[in-house]
Amino acid sequence: MKHILLTGTAGFIGSNFVPYFLKKYPDYTLINLDLLTYAGNLENLSECVGNPRYKFIQGDICNRELVEFIFREYDIRGVIHFAAESHVDNSIKNPGVFVETNVNGTYTLIDVAYKHWLTKPSLYKKGYETCRFHHISTDEVYGTLSLDPSDLFTEKTPYAPNSPYSASKASSDMIVRAYHETYGIDTVITNCSNNYGPKQHDEKLIPTIIRNALAGRPIPIYGDGKNIRDWLYVLDHCKGIDSVYHTGKTGETYNIGGRNERTNLQIVDSICTILDAKVPMEKSYKTLITFVEDRAGHDRRYAIDATKLERELGWRADETFDTGIVKTIEWYLKKYQK
Ligand SMILES: NC(=O)c1ccc[n+]([C@@H]2O[C@H](COP(=O)([O-])OP(=O)(O)OC[C@H]3O[C@@H](n4cnc5c(N)ncnc54)[C@H](O)[C@@H]3O)[C@@H](O)[C@H]2O)c1
């Protein structure tokens, strides 16, 4: 039985990943470390409770003593690191905690992993040779793109983070890169586009649209609504992580994206159209759309070129935005109409 440390799994992506990974790999025991900040919710993991291969520990990735204890106690043989402060708006109001969690937390985890797995740079302890550190990151590290559709983020795009969130994630990517280059620890990094799907925190765009629509409240859209994101269904991201964790080349980074570019206006329009059909009210939900003051430094466009992951590791997104959004809305209808 191999013990793998997963961090931040009470959040959106991690809590979609854990049940998928537990089911697919019966020889893994998953040790889940999460501080349960405002963004973490244990209900997201309720389906795993009682599974003897699932263990939850509430704690901070910056707490070195705790992280060392976990590595010793469970003899951790792999790390998939999701934990982060993840909301750009919060990073504009309060950047300090982003640096603390995203940079110092990643440093603490990889440094403890290095010391647990290797005796000196590039020398793995006997039996630990396959231990790998997988860092989950974002396409926001690359900054913003022009509106030219052929302009896409590749793994070679220079980093140019624009928000405190993306700057802290870019810094954490650099720490992970440095530990591979300097100490020879086996690392992989995945940079993914915007995720959507079940279990996302209420503060994020898609849950906010659905919740406000159902409550008959104004649906806030930043600026002119023309900012473009590349949307990926969360389970497709989980499958991409699985693929890179198991078959990615050491020291490499892989972009994950669904080739589903949408403006925020297109997103809100699609959701309102589906809600109009599923739970009609007198007027269309579109009448609730309200433009609000734009986010400071709001990046205009993100779009991923996922060719490397598709060609080298054979990953493909299973959902298009049109199929994934229906599943997503059905999940939130159950949540918000309870
Ligand atoms: N959501 C997206 O669209 C997206 C896209 C690309 C990459 N990512 C990256 O994926 C990862 C997960 O994102 P998410 O959307 O699930 O985030 P989330 O905010 O939903 O969840 C983050 C989790 O981390 C935990 N956490 C925060 N600080 C911690 C600490 N100091 N110690 C331990 N746990 C802590 C929280 O309690 C929460 O459960 C992040 O690293 C994020 O940068 C997210």
- The residue assigned the tokens 């269309």 is 284
Largest CA distance in the chain: 68
Q: Is 199 in the pocket of ligand 1 (CB under 6 A)?
A: no
Tell me if 207 is assigned to some domain.
no
Q: Is 37 in the pocket of ligand 1 (CB under 6 A)?
A: yes
Q: What is the DSSP secondary-structure string of 252-286?
A: -EEEE--S-EEEHHHHHHHHHHHHHHHS--SS-GG
| Rounded Cα gap, residues 296 and 92, in angstroms | 8
Q: Is 62 in the pocket of ligand 1 (CB under 6 A)?
A: yes
Structural domain tally of the chain? 1
283-328 residue pLDDT tens: 999 999 999 998 888 889 999 999 999 999 999 999 999 999 999 9
Tell me if 287 is assigned to some domain.
no
Report how far ligand 1's centroid is from the alpha carbon of 8 (Å). Answer: 6
179 is catalytic: no
Report how far ligand 1's centroid is from the alpha carbon of 185 (Å). Answer: 23
pLDDT number for residue 297: 85
Mark residue 259 as left, alpha or beta (left: phi above 0; alpha: psi -120 to 50; beta: remaining). Answer: left
Identify the segments of the chain with pLDDT beneath 50: none
Report how far ligand 1's centroid is from the alpha carbon of 37 (Å). Answer: 10
Tell me if 184 is assigned to some domain.
yes
Q: Is 7 in the pocket of ligand 1 (CB under 6 A)?
A: yes
276 is catalytic: no
110-156 residue pLDDT tens: 999 999 999 999 999 999 999 999 999 999 999 999 999 999 999 99
- Measured by CA distance, the residue closest to atom 1 of ligand 1 is 195
Q: Is 197 in the pocket of ligand 1 (CB under 6 A)?
A: no
Q: Which residues contact 85 (CB under 8 A, 6 or more apart)?
A: 37, 39, 91, 97, 98, 101, 102, 165, 168
Report how far ligand 1's centroid is from the alpha carbon of 326 (Å). Answer: 24
What is the atom index within ligand 1 of the atom nearest the CA of 40?
39
pLDDT number for residue 283: 95
Tell me if 90 is assigned to some domain.
yes
Give the structural domain span for 312: 2-196+233-259+302-319
Among candidate residues 34, 60, 85, 140, the one labeled active-site is 140
pLDDT number for residue 323: 96
| Rounded Cα gap, residues 164 and 260, in angstroms | 26
325 to 66, 137, 334: CA distances (angstroms): 39, 23, 14
Mutation test residue for ligand 1: of 9, 86, 200, the one with most atoms within 8 Å of CB: 86
Mutation test residue for ligand 1: of 82, 189, 260, the one with most atoms within 8 Å of CB: 82
319 is catalytic: no
pLDDT number for residue 276: 97
pLDDT number for residue 294: 87
- Measured by CA distance, the residue closest to atom 32 of ligand 1 is 60
Report how far ligand 1's centroid is from the alpha carbon of 280 (Å). Answer: 34
Q: Is 187 in the pocket of ligand 1 (CB under 6 A)?
A: no
| Rounded Cα gap, residues 86 and 165, in angstroms | 7
Spatial contact of 103 and 28, defined as CB atoms under 8 Å apart: no
Tell me if 269 is assigned to some domain.
no
Q: Which of 90, 92, 170, 178 is nearest to 133 (CA)?
A: 178
- The residue assigned the tokens 């991409």 is 240
Tell me if 49 is assigned to some domain.
yes
Tell me if 59 is assigned to some domain.
yes
Burial of residue 178, with CB atoms counted within 10 A of its CB: 0-12 exposed, 13-18 middle, 19 or more buried:
middle
Which residues pair with residue 32 across a beta bridge? 6, 56
pLDDT number for residue 84: 98
Tell me if 177 is assigned to some domain.
yes
Spatial contact of 122 and 182, defined as CB atoms under 8 Å apart: no
| Rounded Cα gap, residues 72 and 70, in angstroms | 5
pLDDT number for residue 298: 87
Q: What is the CATH number of the domain that holds 51?
A: 3.40.50.720
